[in-house]
Amino acid sequence: MPPLPMLSSGAAIGTLETPAPIVDLDRLERNIARMAAYAESHGIALRPHIKTHKATGVAAQQVAAGAVGLTCATPAEAVVMADACRDILLAYPPVGAKAERLLSVPEAVRLTVSLDSARAIEDLARVARRSERSIGVYVEVDVGMHRVGVPTVEEAIGLARTVTESAPLHFAGVAFYPGHIRSAVDAQDAELATLTSGIARMRAAFDAAGLAPTVVSGGSTPTMWRTHEITGVTEMRPGTYVYNDRTTAEIGACAWDDCALSVLATVVSTAVPGQAVIDAGAKALGREPMRGAAGEGFGALLDRPDVVVSRMSEEHGILDLSRTEWRPAVGDVVRVVPNHVCIVVHLNDLMYGVRDDRVETSWTVDARGRAHPVVSP
């Protein structure tokens, strides 16, 4: 394939071939600064999850703004993010080959791993001994998501004791993810009260067992601005806030004007009355429905949020025009805010940074993919 032509900085966004993911740099910078200020004002360490942006440049901006470290979902992400930060949490059980892959994380990185089983401790300890490397461990506790995490405090304490007996691992704290709380921000009072009382009981039990956790790490995007109300939390790990998305805006965790990433798309057909077809389909927007929020479709136009992508094929998105008098023409360019921004980022190799509708820069999605080893002949 011949190389693509270079795009000059300052070019109008309309010159981009669509569909193209674009990031409003003013909003990106504002989102990073706002979260850093929130965490600092409440004395909570900020360890953002990079799964949303997967870019070392954006991660470096978060660290420069005050993040104490980064959170990753895969060992491959941790290897890549070592270029941006020297303090990384792998928030995923390191079982089997995942533990082996951690050997690729540079030794200069302070590495912590969250887990919830004796098998994961065994695999991680084996890798740590082989590399003669001290690795911190957060014991993961299930607080209602029912995805990972041990269900009882007694089991969590048991795993923490196993960690203390598995040098060179060391018990570094407790982690939880309240992903089950997906209600609107102003409707979370009862759920947060239940969560807070559970965290308090957990901390008391660990203290009584002589295993007082140095770190209690938790939080999620829907609850991020109320993390300070969860008594005992010392570290928060939001991810989506850096770009935000339609779901986050719908539940009130961000304003619509805080949505930094959108997918630039071109209207390619208006042949069917009451709708318009854009060149952003499932391969550009993902196919994730709204979760925990009112709303339909797979995205909404940034400047016309009442216009939603109601249906999709792989390369076609159908704009529902039933709620608007606006009628686009073939060739018009629109910007779609996706339901779930993390999926969109993972579908692309490159992001375009724009300011005042001009392309200012671009960056690669460095940690996209899994980079599996190639089989030798």
What does the H/E/C string look like for 249-260? HHCCCCCHHHCC
Count of structural domains within the chain: 2
Q: In the 8-state DSSP scheme, what is residue 325? A: S
Mean pLDDT of all residues belonging to the chain: 95
| Model pLDDT, residue 239 | 97
Does residue 2 surpass a pLDDT of 70? Answer: no
How long is the chain? 377
Does residue 232 surpass a pLDDT of 60? Answer: yes
Helix (H) or strand (E) holding 267: strand 261-269
State whether 63 and 44 are in the same domain. yes
51 and 76 Cβ atoms separated by less than 8 Å: no
Mean pLDDT of 218-225: 93
The residue from 225, 243, 261 where one domain ends is: 243
State whether 78 and 197 are in the same domain. yes
Higher pLDDT, 4 or 68: 68
DSSP, collapsed to helix, strand or coil, labels residue 308 as strand
Q: Is residue 208 part of a domain?
A: yes
State whether 300 and 208 are in the same domain. no
**Among the residues of the chain, which ranges form H helices?**
25-41, 56-64, 75-81, 97-101, 118-131, 153-164, 189-208, 246-250, 282-285, 341-346
| Model pLDDT, residue 5 | 65
Query: For 102-129, b where at least 16 C-beta lie within 10 A, e where not — what string?
Result: beebeeebebbbbbbbeebbebbbebbe
| Model pLDDT, residue 370 | 67
pTM: 0.95
Does residue 371 surpass a pLDDT of 90? Answer: no
State whether 214 and 275 are in the same domain. no
Find the farthest-apart pair of alpha carbons in the chain and give their distance in angstroms, rounded.
70
Domain range for 179 is 25-243
Does residue 6 surpass a pLDDT of 90? Answer: no
Token digits for 232?
A: 């005992």
Does residue 4 surpass a pLDDT of 70? Answer: no
Q: What are phi and psi of 323, to 5 degrees?
A: -105, 10
State whether 154 and 29 are in the same domain. yes
The residue from 217, 243, 269 where one domain ends is: 243
